[in-house]
Amino acid sequence: MTRILAATALLAFTTAAAQAADTLEARVHAAAVKACAAESSASLPVSYYGAITKSCIDRVSATALRRIAADAESKTMASTATLN
């Protein structure tokens, strides 16, 4: 019985973490879209506009997610250092 409860709890935590990650990635992507709106110019052809915007969004999203991961890792390292 305890195995079933433990497995259910683990599944619930894993699902919640996955949903939080999806939400974070969606929020980062939306922020990148807003940030990159200034980089796209109406004077450029549509084909350039799409490529420039996609490149900007990919770059900004990747940078933000790397920073978030680095911050999370440093917080984890700091909290485990205080436990030792």
DSSP conformation letters of 38-81? TT--TTS-HHHHHHHHHHHHHHHHHHHHHHHHHHHHHHHHHHHH
Query: Residue 18 pLDDT more than 80?
Result: no
Q: Report the domain count for the chain.
A: 1
Whole-angstrom distance, CA of residue 20 vs CA of residue 44: 37
Range of the structural domain that residue 8 is part of = 2-83
Tens digits of residue pLDDT in 50-82: 788 888 899 999 999 999 999 989 988 888 776
Residue 51 pLDDT: 80
DSSP 84: -
Whole-prediction pTM: 0.60
Residue 80 pLDDT: 78
Residue 1 pLDDT: 52
Band of residue 44 on the pLDDT scale cut at 50, 70, 90: low
